[in-house]
Structure 1
Amino acid sequence: MSGHGDPIPMISHKCGPLTGVAHVPGDKSISHRSMLLGAMTVGETRITGLLEGEDVLATASAMRAFGADVERLGDGDWRIYGFGVGGFAEPEDVIDCGNAGTGVRLIMGCMATSPITATFTGDASLRSRPMGRVTDPISLFGAAAYGRSKGRLPMTVVGARNPVPVRYTTPMASAQVKSAVLLAGLNAPGETVVIEAEATRDHTERMLAGFGAEVDVQVTGEGRVITLVGQPELKPQTIAVPRDPSSAAFPVCAALIVEGSDVLVPNIGLNPTRAGLFETLREMRADLTYENEREEGGEPVADLRARFSPEMKGIRVPEDRAASMIDEYPVLSVVAAFAEGKTEFVGVHELRVKESDRIDAMARGLEANGVCVDEGEDWMTVHGMGPDGVPGGGTADARLDHRIAMSFMVLGMAARMPVRVDDGSPIATSFPIFENLMAGLGARIERSNR
C-alpha cells in the first residue's frame, strides 16, 4: 500500500475469535533513530529488525541524500556506513519525507548545525503539520528555516555555520522536539541542555549514550533535565530493534474486544515512556498479561498475551500518562466503545496536530458507527456500549492517517455491522503487514471499491 497513490477503500467485518501469534514490525521510533545515528558515526552500523514501512524508508533515502552509504542486506537487515557528526553533505534534490513527521523533524535537527542547505517536503498530510515547534529551537543554534505560512512544508533549512549550544525548555510534551534539539546539539560545542516538564519517550537519550555520546539526565524542580556534551565521535553499533508497542496495540486491542480471542504478541518493547496504553488497559480490567519479561539492548521487553475481556470498565485516563501513549489514543477509543461506562481522555491537545486531528477524526468516525462521543479542545469522552454493543455500519474518513485507518478496521472486527474506511493506503507508512497479520489471526478485512 502507498500513502501517495490512489485511495484504497477498506472494509472490516465482524469476525470469530482472533487466535495465534502476532509478529508485529520493528519499533518505528527506534528504527528512525538507528538510521540517523548510524549515519552520524564513522564506520559501519548494522541493524536487524528494522521496520521497513514507508516512513523509515524515507529516512533511509534522506540519509543517502546527505552522503551516507545505506544498504539493505535482507528482510529488516541493514548496514549504514556513516559520515560522522557534522559530516552532512548538501543534498542535490528536495528531501521527500512522505508521511514521516518523526523523520522530517529529527532530520532537520540532525542537519541544523552543519553548514549546508536542504529543502524538505512530504505528502499532503505532512505538508499540513506544524514544523515551527522544531524550526524555532534549531534557530537558537544559528540555523534558519523558510517555509509556507504557519510553518508548513515545503521548507528550506539553512544550517548554522558557527553553531552555539543552547538551553531549551520544551513548550509541549513532544519527544520529536526534544530529540531534534539534542540531535542538533551533537555538532555544537559545549553543552546543550533540554528541559521537559513532562517526561516523553526517551529512546534518543538511551541511543545517544549507546553510540558513545556523553548524556546526563537529572530530575529537578524544573523538570527532566537532559544535558548533552557536543561534538562527540559516535561509535558504530550493532542494533537489534525491538518490536513496536504502537503496532502491537492493534492486535492486542482487537483481541480484547472480539469474543473468544487469545493472541500472543512477542518481543514488544516496554520502555516506560511508551507503555501507557497497556497500563491503561489493565486499569480498565483488560485480560492483558506480560510473559517472559527481560531486557534487550537496554530496553525492557516482554511477550504480551491479550484475551477477550467482556468486563472492561471505562476510566479517566490520567493526564500525566498522555505522553507515554499519545499514538495509542485512537485505538484505545475503539476499546472504550466496547467497555461499560464512559472513558475520559484529558490533556490530549497534541492529538490535534498529529498526522490528522485525531480527536475530530475518531469522534466523527465513532459517531458514524453509532457511538456517542463528547469532545473539547484537549479532551474527549467515549460513552461505552459494552461488549457487542457497537452498531457499526458506518464509514470513517482516515484523513491520510495510518492509525485512524487501522483503528476503524479494529472496530469492524467486533461491531455488529461492517465498518469501512475511505482509504487504507496510509497503513503502509508504519505497519505494511497489517492486513496479512490480522487475517492470519482470523480477521476479515477486504479492500473494497464501494
Structure 2
Amino acid sequence: MLVNPIGSLKGELTLPGDKSITHRAIILGSLADGVTEITGALRSDDCRHTAKAMGTMGATVEELGGDRLRIQGCGLHGLKEPDKILDVGNSGTTMRLLAGVLAAQPFFSVLTGDQYLRARPMARVATPLRSMGATILGREGGNFPPLAIMGTHLKAIDYVSPIASAQVKSAILLAGLFTEGETTVTEPSLSRDHTERMFEALGIPIHRNGLSLRVESIKKIPSFQVDIPGDFSAAAFFIVAAMVIPGSELTLRQVGINPTRTGLLDALRSMGGVIEVSCRRIISGEPVADLHVRSQALHGTEVAGALIPRMLDEIPVFAVAAALADGSTIIRNAAELRVKEVDRLAALVKELRRFGVQIEECPDGLVIHGGASLSGCHCDSWGDHRMAMAVAVAGLAARGSTTISDSSCVSSSFPDFWTRLDAILPGAAIPYADVGRTSNLALGTS
C-alpha cells in the first residue's frame, strides 16, 4: 500500500461494528435456543472465523445483506463434536473464548490458528479452565496452540486473575454457565466488560462486586436481537489522524463509548486534546455517541496503571500522536503488548524510527520524544492489523510517500479501512457506499 501526505481530513464516517461485541454475539447466539438476529456485525476475518467454528459445531450462521447476521442456535447443550480441527486464523479472541465453551462440552476438539496466533500464550486461559476440570494440552507444556481440549462436567472455581484480560475473564464466565455452583473471577483492574453487559441484556444472571464477577449455571439462553455499535478501536485511527493532521475536522457517528474501551480519549485529553461527544444513548446495553474531532496542538504526557487496559489496542496509533506532540510521552505497564499478534512494543520502535522518531523501548513500555517531523519511508506491518493502520496514519502526516508491506492484514478487524479512509481524503466527495468506484490519489497500491 502506498500512502501519500495530505492536507487534511474532512467529513463524517460511520464505523464498522465492534469486533469484540460481534464475537460474543455470534457465540451466545449459537448457544441460544431459536433464531438470533444481529445488526451491525463486523464482517472481518476474525469474526468470520468465530462464525465458521460455531457452524462446524452445529449452529447455522447466515450472512444477510449489509451488516446483518441470522443465527439458528443449537441450544446451550446442543453443540456437536467437530469432525475437523477448528482453525481460527489470527483471532486470539476466538481461541480464548471458545476454549471456555469447549472446556464444558462432552467431546474432544482442537483449536489452532495462523503462525502469529500459534506464538501467543494460552496458559493464561488454559490454567483456570484446567482447574475447573477440563483437559487442555498444547505445545511447550500446554502454553501455546494448537490446543487439544477434552471437555467435561466442570466444577465452579473462585479465580483471581493475575492480569486484567477480557478474554480470560470471558472464557471463565462462559465456562461458568455450564458448572454446578457459582464461579467467580476477580481482576486486578477492570478490563472491557462486553461479556457481562451482554449477559445482562440477555437476562443471564451475573453479579458484580467491585472487580469480582459471579455467574452460575443456567438452563438455556433465549434467542435475541442485538444492534452492535461502531468499533471504538476502529474509530481510534481516525480520531488520531484528525487530531494530528492540520486543518482536519471529522465526525464519527454511532461509536461505542463503553468506558472500559475509551482510555485513548482520556490519554489524548491529558495531551491537551479536545474531543466533543454528543448524542449519547444506549443501544443493546452499550453506550454510544457521536464524536467530533478537530486538528489541534498536543503535548507530551504519561499513561500507565489502570488506564492501560482501557487503551491497550489503541497504543500503536497513540504512539503516532505522541511522536507528533510537543515534548516526551511515557507509556508504562504495557508489557501485554508483547504478546499480541506480534510484539507491538518492538514493532513500534522499529517502524517509528523509520519515520525519524526518537523512541526508546522499555521492558513494559515506551518513551517517545515528540516534535518529530515525520519523513515518508517503507514500513512493515508485521502482519498486524493495528500496526498497519497506525503506520498509515503516520504516513498521512509525513513528508513524502510511505509504503506499507502486507497492508491486507487489516482484514482481521477492519477490512474496508482503506476505502473508508479514501472517502474523507481531499477530493473524495463521494459517499462511503460509492468509494469502491473511485480512489483518491492520496492512496495507491504497490
Instruction: Provide the TM-score with structure 2 as the length reference.
Output: 0.94
Shift of 1:230: 1.2
TM alignment of 1:363-382, pairs within 5 A: 363-382=349-368
Q: Using the alignment, how far apart are the partners of 1:188 and 1:84 within structure 2?
A: 16
SS at match of 1:124: coil
Structure 2 equivalent of residue 390 of structure 1: 373
Structure 2 equivalent of residue 180 of structure 1: 171
Q: Which segment drifts farther, 270-279 or 81-90?
A: 81-90
Structure 1 equivalent of residue 140 of structure 2: 149
TM alignment of 1:10-159, pairs within 5 A: 10-149=1-140, 151-159=143-151
Structure 2 equivalent of residue 6 of structure 1: none
Q: Does 1:251 align with 2:238?
A: yes
Residue type at the aligned position of 1:171 = P
Q: Which segment drifts farther, 32-41 or 289-298?
A: 289-298
Residue type at the aligned position of 1:126 = L
Q: Percent identity?
A: 40
TM alignment of 1:157-236, pairs within 5 A: 157-160=149-152, 162-219=153-210, 224-236=211-223
Q: 1:437 aligns with which of 400, 411, 420?
A: 420
Q: Using the alignment, how far apart are the partners of 1:188 and 1:227 within structure 2?
A: 12
Residue type at the aligned position of 1:353 = V
Q: Using the alignment, how far apart are the partners of 2:374 and 2:207 within structure 1?
A: 52
Greater relative contact order, per chain length (Cα 8 Å cut-off, separation 6+): 1
Segments of 5+ residues of structure 2 without an aligned counterpart are: 427-441
Contact 1:369–1:419 (8 Å) recurs in 2: no
Residue type at the aligned position of 1:382 = I
Contact 2:154–2:179 (8 Å) recurs in 1: yes
Shift of 1:304: 0.7
Q: Using the alignment, how far apart are the partners of 1:235 and 1:324 within structure 2?
A: 31
Q: Using the alignment, how far apart are the partners of 1:211 and 1:83 within structure 2?
A: 17
Residue type at the aligned position of 1:189 = E
Contact 1:37–1:211 (8 Å) recurs in 2: no
Structure 1 equivalent of residue 384 of structure 2: 401
SS at match of 2:14: coil
SS at match of 2:116: helix
Structure 2 equivalent of residue 446 of structure 1: 444
Residue type at the aligned position of 1:66 = M
Shift of 1:129: 0.8
Contact 1:24–1:248 (8 Å) recurs in 2: yes
Q: Which segment drifts farther, 49-58 or 79-88?
A: 79-88
Contact 1:86–1:113 (8 Å) recurs in 2: no
Q: Using the alignment, how far apart are the partners of 2:331 and 2:126 within structure 1?
A: 29
Residue type at the aligned position of 1:184 = A
Residue type at the aligned position of 2:323 = A
Q: Using the alignment, how far apart are the partners of 1:176 and 1:390 within structure 2?
A: 38
Q: In angstroms, what is the RMSD of aligned CA positions?
A: 1.2
Q: Deviations over 1:223-256 (max 9, x none)?
A: x110001134211110000000000001111111
Q: 1:238 aligns with which of 222, 225, 229?
A: 225
SS at match of 2:110: strand
Structure 1 equivalent of residue 333 of structure 2: 347
Residue type at the aligned position of 2:325 = A
Contact 1:22–1:251 (8 Å) recurs in 2: no
SS at match of 1:146: strand
Instruction: Provide the TM-score with structure 1 as the length reference.
Output: 0.93
Contact 1:49–1:242 (8 Å) recurs in 2: yes
Segments of 5+ residues of structure 1 without an aligned counterpart are: 1-9
Structure 2 equivalent of residue 5 of structure 1: none
Residue type at the aligned position of 1:395 = H
Q: Does 1:335 align with 2:326?
A: no
